[in-house]
Structure 1
Amino acid sequence: MAGIVSTCALTLSSKSNSRTSWSEFETHHRRTIRGKPSRCRNCGIRAEVNFVDADEAKKLVRDDGYAVLDVRDKTQYERAHIKSCYQVPLFIENQDNDFGTVIKRTVHNNFSGLFFGLPFTKLNDKFVDSVQSQLSPESKLLVVCQEGLRSTAAAKKLEAAGYNNVACVTSGLQSVKPGTFDSEGSTELQDAGKAGLITIQGKISAVLGTVLICAYLFITFFPEQAEKLLQLAPPS
């Protein structure tokens, strides 16, 4: 069913390398249609992201001249990265010192930071500018991250900035088998997202960490109730 919208856009879903890609078409009909394209006048492609698996990604780099753009944070990049790649993080470490950020950073560092080794970050507002300073809009880019979420968001920003040859690895580097790419770092590409106490005792640490952070938050935000509970606890 077609609906009237305020912008002149016709959106269709297409298939590329057995993965779903999206193309946006401009039309004077002021309609948005999802499905197979119909004939229209003055249609032009705006953007398309190609989602590929690890083997397809390797072929793009080896045979088609795609440059690898790593958009992970510095910590994951240093643990393992594809050789000769470009690195521009989509998120950067948040060192702001306003009251709200300090509280959020403290909570984060006592949970995600401690147990999962994740830094406290914010969106890099200079991401596109940094990419443009190193790679021209005509470049063919394979955008990678650890899980596939950041690379998808980064690809969308690059498409909007005029990059029309962009591919992403579905599910990110965590799905890449050892030896698929030449890599550098202290671990394999698929393990670069693993850090913190969870790497020591696995699921036990994850459960323990969840319990401890819940207790921490309860004591922090409900100190009176926590004190009453401690008073009810039998003496050791």
Structure 2
Amino acid sequence: MAIQLKHLHPFTLHQLRSSGPPTHLRASGFRVEAVSGKELIQSGKVRAVEAKEAAKLMKTEEYMMLDIRPEWEREKARVTGSLHAPLFVQDMDNSIVTLLKKWVHFGYIGLWTGQYFTMINPGFLAQVEGLVSDKDTKLLVSCGEGLRSLMAVSKLYGAGYKNLGWLVGGFNRSVDGDFADIQGTEKLQYATIGGVSYYFLQILILLQAVGKDN
């Protein structure tokens, strides 16, 4: 019995060629970032890299992987040797308005996905520059689903980093063996999954294993 695990927002090259970014991005404050990243990839200024090609590219063309996921995702699983600068960080503001937003977020998203209420990391570019001062360095920008990294390449390109790659679909699109050396407690492709979804995932994995045994 084979079970196909689907993620909430897989982002592919096919979607890049469509009329626009996913609906949930259009309604957010990040639409400009996403469209800009899309245009960079369509024009060839940013290289689109499939997960199955990433390790070879890093070895033969000396790309460095820049993981822009938040710390709680990276702790679960990460490519050994990758650099880390989170594009989003947990919003620690406890004003009444923000607390209300956090409560709504928890009810609609946080409980299901385990994701914290976040904000753009104001020090993102400074952190990258601290890690990679030479802006001619080849960077493969990566996240869980390809959306946040699409935003990140726009910021990085605007800051002068011109040798950028984008991991298509993020780590969610990877499979066992795409990256030889992984650290953490989870599979790389499942690191974005938390909350109630995590327990459903474990049940699906168990059922898949039972199906193979039968």
TM-score by length of 1: 0.65
The residue that corresponds to 1:194 in the other structure is 193
Unaligned runs of 5+ in 2: 1-37, 204-214
Selected match of 1:157 from 151, 155, 158: 155
Paired letter, 1:151:
S
AA aligned to 2:43 is W
Secondary structure at 1:197 match in 2:
helix
| Alignment match of 2:42 (pick from 7, 12, 21) | 21
Given candidates 48, 70, 73, the residue that maps to 1:76 is: 73
SS of the aligned residue for 2:42 comes to strand
Separation (CA, whole Å) in 2 of partners of 1:179 and 1:145: 18
Task: Say yes or no: does 1:86 pair with 2:77.
Answer: no
Query: Over alpha carbons, which structure has the higher Rg?
Result: 1
User: Does 1:49 pair with 2:46?
Assistant: yes
Query: For residues 14 and 57 of structure 1, what CA distance do their matches in structure 2 show?
Result: 21
What do residues 19-44 of structure 1 show as CA deviations (whole Å, max 9, x unaligned)? x5326xxxxxxxxxxxxxxxxxxxxx
**Whole-angstrom CA distance in 2 between matches of 1:156 and 1:91:** 15
Residue correspondences, number: 163
SS of the aligned residue for 2:135 comes to coil
Deviation, 1:106, is: 1.6
Q: Indicate the residue corresponding to 2:127 in structure 1.
A: 130
Structure 1 stretches of 4+ with a deviation exceeding 3 A read none
Is the counterpart of residue 146 in structure 1 residue 138 in structure 2?
no
How far does residue 163 in structure 1 lie from its aligned partner after superposition? 0.5
**What runs of 5+ residues in structure 1 fail to find an aligned partner?**
1-12, 24-47, 205-236
Using structure 2 for the length normalisation, give the TM-score: 0.71
Partner amino acid, structure 2, of 1:58: A
In angstroms, what is the RMSD of aligned CA positions?
A: 2.1
1:120 maps to 2:117: yes
Cα offset for 1:14?
A: 9.8
Which shows bigger deviation, 144-153 or 105-114?
105-114
Greater shift in the superposed pair: 79-88 or 51-60: 51-60
- Report the 3-state secondary structure (helix = DSSP H, G, I; strand = E; otherwise coil) of the residue aligned with 1:95: coil
Once the two structures are TM-superposed, the CA of residue 59 in structure 1 deviates from its matched residue by 1.8
Q: Per the alignment, do residues 14 and 114 of structure 1 end up closer, same or farther by CA in structure 2, a change over 3 Å counting?
A: closer
Taking every aligned residue pair, what percent have the same amino acid on both sides? 35
Q: 1 or 2 for the larger relative contact order (CA 8 Å, sep ≥6)?
A: 2
Greater fraction helix: 2
Cα distance change, pair 100–180 in 1 and its aligned pair in 2 (3 A) = same
